[in-house]
Amino acid sequence: MSLNQTSIQVELEFFAILKDLLSHSFSVSFDQPISIKELKHYLIKKFPQAEEVLIYSRFSTETTILNDEAIIDKNSKIYVLPPSSGG
């Protein structure tokens, strides 16, 4: 077992109003696995101007919507989907 710990790279892609408030995408690294709930809190702290949207946003992989307890434990691309309305 190696004592060298590699970081987890998370590429985030934002849509709709979040793309306007933040940017289209960026990457962040973490030293240990992180839950979606922790990732959401990290983003709110880093981007307080987007808090009202982020707290209601959904997070997903390319194929799966992730709940707050889902753990990111490997390099991943995560999509951040703001709430939407329809009619």
Q: Which residue has the higher pLDDT, 5 or 3?
A: 5
The 3-state DSSP class for residue 42 equals: helix
Query: pLDDT per residue over 41-85, tens digit each?
Result: 999 999 999 999 999 999 999 999 999 999 999 999 999 999 986
What residues does each domain of the chain span?
Answer: 7-23+70-87
Report the pLDDT value the prediction gives residue 2, as an integer from 0 to 100: 45
Report the pLDDT value the prediction gives residue 3, as an integer from 0 to 100: 47
Model confidence, pTM: 0.87
Report the pLDDT value the prediction gives residue 31, as an integer from 0 to 100: 96
Q: How many CB atoms lie within 10 A of CB 75?
A: 13
